[in-house]
Structure 1
Amino acid sequence: MRNTEEGEGFEAEASSTSMMSGASSPYQPTTEPVRPGHHRRLQLAWDPDYLRSSFGILKLLEVILALIAFICIETVKECLPCGGLYFFEFVSCTAFVVTGVLLLMFSLNLHTKVPQINWNLTDLINTVVSAILFFIASVVLAAMNQKRGGEIAAVVFGFLAAAVYAVNTYLAVKIWRLGARRQTGGPANEYTRARSESRGEVESRPEVQRLEG
């Protein structure tokens, strides 16, 4: 009887000890279960380095010039004919909106939230199309305007915007070609680079070269 009571007491003490240790164990899960309908908030990360880069500066200039060109053309109240004015108005407004959206996407790193879209190609297409359309719209407006101040100012800022878009296009195409060359290099270039690095390491360590000789 005494052995039975001692065994029962030992089991009760062991169970209470395990309960206490389990309650105070640091390895217990601390994460709360995700509630249905609970979604993560969209975190915006401002990227000042992008605005300091050449592409960020060019894109900011494009937005400013497109906005100024649009404001200048909006000050014109009379036109005859009006086709060139309407076309310039459409080009400047569209370039301002699309380029402004891309500037926000890149500045706030929102493009990383939608990896399904090739943002570099999208930006390149917008830059090329905007440069061509701004140049055509400025030429047409210069040929059809009535020599008013608003139209002349719109033509000037239109040509400036076309020039900035052209520079942006040149840099974007240049970087795109460099990326294409790296991708088409394949394993051969990686092998050549690895071989050159290994040779440089051996030359910097003459004792290894003597052992191998």
Structure 2
Amino acid sequence: MADSERFSAPGCWAACTNFWRTRKGILLFAEIVLCLVILICFSTSTSAYSSLSVIEMIFAAVLFIFYMCDLHTKIPFINWPWTDFLRSLIAAILYLITSIVVLVEGGNSSKIVAGVLGLIATFLFGYDAYFTFPLRQQRHTAAPTDPTDGPV
């Protein structure tokens, strides 16, 4: 296949949209949307906690683009499974802490909604961390137990 055929618009579009159908693509898209909704809730309540949503939304969008366009295979010096795992684990921890603080602090209804959505984001990012844990994905092959055919 020639380079012009491989990078043509329909072929490139199909390669990019195939990622949307994977579990990882759905998780990253849900994280982006949830971070955007939490950001809107924090913005309407004039809360100072909106930076967490902005940072996590940017990180999720960057990884979404990298995975969707298959750029992670072209940058081999970054360990992508560990990068993604640590991103989602740190996000889950930070959302848990922020949500607890916001809910204990109280305030107007949009701040409370942001706190509840932050708890939902904690579970979403936690599930993503569990799903992308690199050591869980490694498969060990059993050592051969058959006797060798050579002289004994």
- Show the counterpart of 2:64: 103
Q: Deviations over 1:106-146 (max 9, x none)?
A: 01111122111111110011010001001110110111131
1:6 match: none
Between Structure 1 and Structure 2, how many residues are aligned? 135
User: Aligned equivalents of 1:142 and 1:169: distance in 2?
Assistant: 24
- C-alpha distance in structure 1 between counterparts of 2:43 and 2:61, whole Å: 19
Between the aligned partners of 2:23 and 2:95, the Cα distance in structure 1 is 21
Shift, 1:153, TM fit: 1.8
Provide the secondary structure at the position in 2 that maps to 1:47.
helix
Other-structure match for 2:150? none
Q: Find the counterpart in structure 1 of residue 144 from structure 2.
A: 191
CA distance in 1, matches of 2:135, 2:111: 36
- Measured after TM superposition, the shift of residue 48 of structure 1 is 2.8
Equivalent in 124, 135, 143 of residue 176 of structure 1: 135
SS at match of 2:73: helix
Root mean square deviation of aligned Cα: 2.0
Structure 2: runs of 5+ lacking an equivalent = 1-6, 147-152
| Cα distance in 2 between the residues matched to 1:134 and 1:155 | 9
Q: How does 1:9-158 map to 2 (within 5 A)?
A: 45=12, 46-77=15-46, 85-86=47-48, 88-146=49-107, 148-158=108-118
Equivalent AA in structure 2 for residue 58 of structure 1 = L
Which amino acid in structure 2 is aligned with residue 103 of structure 1? F
Letter in 2 for 1:56: G
Q: Mind listing any 5+ residue stretches in structure 1 that lack a counterpart?
A: 1-42, 78-84, 196-213
The runs of 4+ residues in structure 1 deviating greater than 3 Å are 43-47
* Other structure's SS at 2:78 match: coil
Letter in 2 for 1:177: R
Cα offsets for 1:164-184 (capped at 9, x unmatched): 1111111122x63241x42xx
Rounded Cα–Cα distance in structure 2 between residues aligned with 1:53 and 1:190: 32
Which AA in structure 1 matches 2:93?
Answer: I
Which gives a bigger RCO, structure 1 or 2 (Cα 8 Å, sep 6+)? 2
Provide the TM-score with structure 1 as the length reference.
0.58
Distance in 1 of aligned mates of 2:132 and 2:71: 20
